[in-house]
Amino acid sequence: MSQSPLDLLDLDRSLTTEQKLIRGVVSDYVRDRIAPNISGWFENENIPTRELAREMGELGLLGMHLEGYDCAGTDAVSYGLACLELEAADSGLRSLVSVQGSLAMYAIWAFGSEDQKLEWLPQMARGEKLGCFGLTESDFGSNPSGMRTHAKRDGSDWVLNGTKYWITNGFKHSNYAMLFGKTIVKGKDEGVAAFLVRTRD
């Protein structure tokens, strides 16, 4: 088989059959569903985010590199290939997938309670629920040490105060937000913590 002129390093030779199949499925989806519609969606300012999330969930793209909880459990290369195909059509839709899986879902998968994992991860893997990741602030970018958002104890609850910017999947679409703030306990700064905040049902 001759080498493709678009694959100068002949990377295909290092891919497994499964990885190529995953890439092919995403490539077909992008060709048939995304590419013909993306310009119109942007022109009309009406991207069907929830509909696309469910479709991508059906393809197994959301949290695809995570194990268990109805996630596909693929490897990092397959995940990278899927994102590469999505990126070829639209960076924003690739961001939808990567923020959902690598930030919102991963945070719960790695650090959440078992109840949180069971409640959120299967629904997020199917695209029924979306999450966002609230770290960035206007004055400090993604520098957590400079963030101004703070969280104070109020009995058994926490009260968050602050503003976040440039949040992919943001509050318009998300069902929960992973928000970061500096914790203040008894007037003392205790460091940065993450809070899982429900934004809608």
The DSSP H or E segment spanning 82 is helix 76-89
CB of 95 closer than 8 Å to CB of 121: no
Determine, yes or no, domain membership for 4.
no
Determine, yes or no, domain membership for 184.
yes
Residues 117 and 68 in one domain: yes
Residue 72 pLDDT level (bands cut at 50, 70, 90): very high
Which of 72, 75, 100 lies closest to 86, judged by CA? Answer: 100
* End position of a domain, from candidates 98, 124, 150: 124
Residues 118 and 93 in one domain: yes
Note the residue count of the chain.
Answer: 201
* End position of a domain, from candidates 91, 124, 157: 124
- Per the structure, the complete domain to which residue 165 belongs is given by 132-198
Buried-exposed string 136-165: b where 16+ CB fall within 10 A, e elsewhere = bbeeeeeebeebebbbbeeeeebebeeebe
Residues 193 and 141 in one domain: yes
The DSSP 8-state label assigned to residue 72 in this structure reads -
**H-type alpha helices, 2-62:** 17-29, 38-43, 49-58
pLDDT at 30: 97
pLDDT at 146: 85
156-200 pLDDT, tens per residue?
899 999 999 888 888 678 999 999 999 987 777 788 889 999 988
Determine, yes or no, domain membership for 112.
yes
Residue 73 pLDDT level (bands cut at 50, 70, 90): very high
* End position of a domain, from candidates 124, 141, 164: 124
Tally of domains in the chain? 2
SS3 66: coil
Copy the structure tokens of residue 31.
């060709």
Q: From the CA atom positions of the chain, what is the Rg in Å?
A: 19
Residues 140 and 188 in one domain: yes
Residues 106 and 18 in one domain: yes
DSSP state string for 108-165? HHHHS-HHHHHHHHHHHHTTSS-EEEE--BTTTBT-GGG---EEEEETTEEEEE----
Q: Report the CATH number at residue 148.
A: 2.40.110.10
Residue 62 pLDDT level (bands cut at 50, 70, 90): very high
pLDDT at 6: 67
Determine, yes or no, domain membership for 185.
yes
